[in-house]
Amino acid sequence: MERYEFEGAEVLALVLESRGAKERLMTEAQRYLAAGIDLLAEQQAAEWDGEVDHPGTGADPGLWLMNDRGVYLRSNARTRDADSVAYARGYRGDIAVGDEPTCEFIDAATLDPVRVGDTLVVTLDEQKVRLSLIRPE
């Protein structure tokens, strides 16, 4: 199980960026679902040719949890500043994490309770992404 902590103020800035975007990108998994591809359905996966016929836009506001260069959150806004990310404490860009890059979507609505001064805790296991908050007294 992996645990990552993010500064609440940075998370809120990314949520605002996503909500304010005119267009938002989908993760690869969201594109599959939007195109009607269920990779867990054995027959459909066996017949799938590897192509996804979907533009990859139209996602709900949210953040992507990524590990391709450290562990960080970024908004799913199509147009965004490349430096607009929130790194997990202790997992900046020079820290290799995991065997393969991953991208998990976190819906902005689930982040509504986050406040400036909070710490967002993201806990991952093989099947779940769990969010919790550490709130200062």
> Tell me, what's the pLDDT at 3?
93
pLDDT at 43: 57
Greatest alpha-carbon pair distance for the chain in Å reads 55
Q: DSSP letter for 93, please.
A: T
Q: Which amino acid is at 130?
A: R
pLDDT at 8: 97
Q: pLDDT tens across 48-79, in order?
A: 555 655 567 778 999 999 988 889 999 999 99
83: DSSP letter:
T
pLDDT less than 50: residues of the chain: none
Residue labelled with tokens 């779940």: 128
73, HSE (Cβ side, Cα atoms, 13 Å): 29
Question: If we measure between CA atoms, which residue out of 37, 42, 77 comes closest to residue 54?
Answer: 37
3-class DSSP assignment, residue 13: helix
